Structure 1
Amino acid sequence: MNTCKTALRVIWAHKFYFLLYLVGMSFIMIIIGSTSMQAAVHANASSSVGRFEPAQAKIAVINRDYGSHVGRELGQGLEQYLSKSAQSVRVDDEPQALQDANVSGKSDLTVIIPAGYGQRFLEALENTATQDQTGGKAPAFPKVETAASYNSSRGSLAQLQVDGYFNGLRTASLAGLGQDGSMQQSVTVIKNIDAGVIKDAAAYTVAHYASNQPQVKVHASPKDDDGTLSGGFATTVSLAAYPLMTALTVCVAILFGAFSSTDRHRRLLASPVRPSSLNGQELMAALILASISWAYYVAVTAVSMTTMGVSLASLGWGKVLLSFFAMLIFTVSAAAFGFMLSQFNPSSSLINSVGVTFGLVVMFTSGAGSSGTLPPAMQTIGKLTPGWWYNSAVKSIMDSSPAGSSSWGLSLALVMLFALTYVCVGLMVSRLTRTHSSMDASTSSDPSMIG
């Protein structure tokens, strides 16, 4: 196990790359993913349960009969009545201001109580009561002046509420109904119709506003997730392609590069440890690094989902675990690419350049962070990298049931095939490099070649 420990110390000596490419880039990817996830959360919350909220009209009440006690009680009752379903606005009692309010949309309906309206309303009540006793025709009640805005239909609907208030007020006044709903004798009320009766009738009308309105009931059932949350989670998981590919390419390439130089390789071959054991311990160190990277990104993803108020259980544990398994397969593929790169004996700066460049190519051509369809050229390039198939697998997992493996199984198989291809290419390059190195060494030490 000394070789494995030495390999881990090599990784620790280059921990800056690990922190920069994995930890640093993962935060950027999580922030990008959280943007789409938050949008999905808001869309899902707004469409989860239907709720009916009637539009509120903006109504301006101009009381020009405020000087009389009856007119004041009528106007205050009207404002309280309308405030239950409309928004009250203030408009100056000037011709220009009233016209501007209707034209500009400041008010949907302007109600004007003309001067002397309260007295005429009382007289109409008394005449109505007298006609009811004698059996004559009831006189018409005075009308308030209204002006509805032509910019909205809410003003016309609010005018019906104004009529409902005065109809309710007339009925309550004749019946002698107060706010508590008590009724007096009609004859007594008829003889004593005054501002106090109007005040009690207005209070009754306002208090029983709900019973005067049509009943609207909304039957709504919770709406199932329409795929917005699943799509946001798939995007977050797919964005792991860039930090995992970059970090593991650089770190694994540096790890194997530390053991693949000619001098170190000769010293390892001269040791009593079998080459298969040395190679196995190096591979174990690379797998430990890949496992740590995978576990870290899974934890970061889970924490980010919890922070945004999304329960992984609500997405389906089968889909979530399969998505994390797909991430594990992609992690192995990224480590395999790092192994292949190390067999070309590149310099440290070249390893970083290749890792960052290939990571960007994988991210931009995989379609993980794109809201639309990629251009055909980018799709062609993406299909030549494991990132495209990793993204396809994750989206297929979240879009389908875990039992139906036909949609995502092929994509995961291709990701594993990429990993196997990288390993085979790396082993081939390693064998060619070491064979050429051995031939050079034997040629330089041949006595027949001297002098």
Structure 2
Amino acid sequence: MNTCKTALRVIWAHKFYLLLYLVGMSLVMIVIGSTNMQAAVRANASSSVGRFEPARAKVAVINRDCGDQVGCELGRGLEQYLSKSAQLVTVEDRPQALQDANVSGKSDLTIIIPAGYGQRFLEALEDTAAQAPSGGKTLGFPKVETAASYNSSRGSLAQLQVDSYFDALRSALLAGRGQNGSMELHSSAVFNGAAAYAVAHYADKQPHVGIHASPKGDNRALSEGFATTVGLAAFPLMTALTVSVATLFAAFSSPDRRRRLLASPMRSSSLNGQELTAALILAGISWAYYVALVAFSMAASGVSLTSLGWGRVLLSFFAMLIFAVSAASFGFMLAQFNPSSSLINSVGVIFGLVVMFTSGSSTGGSLPPVMQTIGKLTPGWWYNTAVQSIVDTSAADLASWGLPLTVVALFALAYSCVGLMVSRLTRTRATLVALAGSDPSMIG
């Protein structure tokens, strides 16, 4: 375990890379993900069905025929009818007050039932009932006085409701809907029953506005925001682990250190295993850090991970862990070429940017064909595809997310195999050079 501890101390000696690439870049990615998440929260909150309410017109009803029982019942029924779609306001029955109400916007529509209106309505109704069987000409029904405000079109729409009320009332009276089918039209109870019938059947006679929206319980927008936040881990994890792991193995791969390690009584497989263990520990710590950061970001945005489904959340975090191992494997492969520190940083940053911009996590939409082709040559595209598939489908749908996640694991295996092959060739060449340099025949 001494080699593993030494490897961890090497990593800690280069902690600036972790602070810069892992902590610094992850905070930037989390801020971007939180912005998308808050937009998803607002979209989810505004997508609930039933939040739409049509504008209600302000209507004033002035009944100057209250002295007559029929006129009183007509006015009372009209107010009940309009109260279902409009806001009733009180205006004094004075010319100046009525004008001010319309001009100031206090009333969108002013309705005046003139004196004697009830009797004229009753006479027209009786004439219609008498002339209907013979098909003779009937008297026209009287109209109430209306004045719509020019400041709003709601008054004109409410005026249509007024006409609808009197049409419904007339039809109910002629059909005998007043009081048990009675046609005693002079009875106020008949008008009261007909008005109640017209009000009760208001909803069946009015057009409805159908609202097509996602139910409030639909977490699709939140799930997509979560997938974007998890997908943005590609850049900080790839860059930080590439640079840190490459720096670690480069420190153990120099010829002098390698010869001292090979001269020790410990087997080379044990040495390599402890170095690999330190790299995996670093990958696990980086993964756990980013998971905690994502969980904190979700909580700060007001989103519970439970609402997204623990199956999807845990699988997404598992995909992130596989990607972290792939990033560490790439760093191991890079170290076997004995690069300089500046080259390690350059390759780590450039490859991290390529992974981020070709994975699709930073764009939020489909990539051009060229970018998709480049992205499929890196584990980032497959990682983002796996996360999106996990969020979009059920956890039991293994085929949708299992294939891209397997490809990410194969990238990790491929990087490790290439690194081991290069390491084997490098060590063999170093051994041959050492043997040639110690040959006595080569001395002066």
Q: TM-score, normalised by structure 2?
A: 0.72
Q: Does 1:157 align with 2:150?
A: no
1:408 pairs with 2:395: no
Alignment deviations for residues 272-315 of structure 1 (CA, whole Å, 9 cap, x no partner): 22211111111111111000011111111112112222222222
**Deviation at 1:229?**
2.2
Residue 50 (structure 2) pairs with residue 51 (structure 1): yes
Mapping of 1:47-446 within 5 angstroms? 47-48=47-48, 50-51=49-50, 53-57=52-56, 59=58, 110-111=108-109, 143-147=144-148, 152=153, 154-159=154-159, 224-225=217-218, 227-446=220-439
Residue in structure 2 matched with residue 183 of structure 1 by the alignment: none
Give the partner amino acid of 2:323: F
Distance 1:87 1:12 in 2: 71
- Whether the 8 Å CA contact 1:290–1:331 is kept in 2: the answer is yes
- CA deviations on 1:104-134 (whole Å, 9 max, x unpaired) are xx89x754689xx99999999xxxxxxxxxx
Report what 1:134 is aligned to: none
Q: Provide closer, same or farther for how the CA distance between residues 123 and 300 of structure 1 changes in structure 2, counting only shifts above 3 A.
A: same
Alignment pair present for 1:450 and 2:443: yes
Kept in 1, the 8 Å contact 2:356–2:380? The answer is yes
Instruction: Go from structure 1 to structure 2 and tell me whether the alpha carbon gap of 1:411 and 1:112 turns closer, same or farther (over 3 Å shift).
Output: closer
After superposition, the Cα gap between the structure-2 partners of 1:241 and 1:219, relative to the gap in structure 1 and judged at 3 Å, is closer
Q: Structure 1 residue 441: deviation in Å?
A: 2.2
Deviations along 1:48-67, one digit per CA (max 9) or x if unpaired, are: 4x215432246597x9x9xx
Per-residue deviation at 1:263? 0.9
Shift of residue 47 of structure 1?
Answer: 2.5
Per-residue CA deviations over 1:82-115 (Å, capped at 9, x if unaligned) read 99966899x99999x95xx9xxxx89x754689x
Change (3 A) 1:280 1:53: closer
For residues 122 and 317 of structure 1, do their structure 2 counterparts lie closer, same or farther at Cα, with a shift above 3 Å needed? closer
AA partner of residue 387 (structure 2): V
CA contact (8 A) 2:389 2:401 kept: yes
SS of the residue corresponding to residue 371 of structure 2 reads helix
1:373-404 Cα distance to aligned partner (Å, 9 max, x none): 11111001000000111111111112222222
- For the 8 Å contact 1:111–1:144, the answer to whether it is kept is no
Letter in 2 for 1:286: A
Residues 166-193 of structure 1: CA deviation (Å, up to 9, x unaligned): 9xxxxxxxxxxxxxxxxxxxxxxxxxxx
**What is the alpha-carbon distance in structure 1 between the residues aligned to residue 312 and residue 223 of structure 2?**
9
* Deviation per residue, 1:248-269 (Å, 9 max, x gap): 0011011111111111111111
> Unpaired runs of 5+ in structure 2?
63-77, 90-95, 121-140, 167-198
For 2:401 and 2:442, locate their aligned partners in 1 and report how far apart those are by CA, in whole Å.
60
Counterparts in 2 of 1:112 and 1:416: CA distance versus 1, 3 Å? closer
Deviation at 1:240, TM superposition (A): 0.8
Does the 8 Å CA contact 1:17/1:251 hold for their aligned counterparts? yes
Residue aligning to 2:7? 7
- Say if 1:120 and 1:24 are closer, same or farther in 2 by CA, change over 3 A: farther
Please give the alpha-carbon distance, in whole angstroms, between the structure 2 residues aligned to 1:58 and 1:3: 81
Query: Secondary structure at the residue paired with 2:249?
Result: helix
Assess, with a 3 A threshold, how the Cα gap between structure 1 residues 405 and 214 changes in structure 2: closer, same or farther: closer
Once residues 246 and 313 of structure 2 are traced to their aligned partners in structure 1, the CA distance between those partners, rounded to angstroms, is 30
Amino acid at match of 1:55: P
The CA distance in 1 between the partners of 2:379 and 2:39, in whole Å, is 28
Instruction: Work out whether residues 340 and 426 of structure 1, in 8 Å CA contact, stay in contact via their aligned partners in 2.
Output: yes
Distance 1:424 1:144 in 2: 91
Cα deviation, 1:188-246, whole Å, max 9, x if unaligned, reads xxxxxxxxxxxxxxxxxxxxxx9997599999996552622222221111111111101
| CA spacing shift, 1:249–1:148, aligned 2, 3 Å | same
Q: CA RMSD in A?
A: 4.8
Distance change (3 Å), C-alpha of 1:410 and 1:219: closer
Q: TM-score, normalised by structure 1?
A: 0.71
Separation of aligned partners in 2, 1:119 and 1:325 = 80
Matched to 1:238, the amino acid is G
Verify the 8 A CA contact 1:22 1:247 in the aligned structure 2: yes
- Secondary structure in structure 2 of the residue aligned to 1:146: strand
Please report how far the alpha carbon of residue 247 of structure 1 lies from its aligned counterpart in structure 2 after TM superposition: 0.6
Structure 2: distance between partners of 1:434 and 1:40: 53
Which residue does 1:175 correspond to in 2?
none
User: Following the alignment from structure 1 to structure 2, what is the Cα–Cα distance between the partners of residues 390 and 273?
Assistant: 38
Structure 1 contact 120–142 (Cα < 8 Å) conserved: no
Task: State the identity as a percent.
Answer: 66
When residues 438 and 298 of structure 1 are mapped into structure 2, their CA distance, relative to the original with a 3 A threshold, is same
Alignment-mate amino acid for residue 220 of structure 2: G
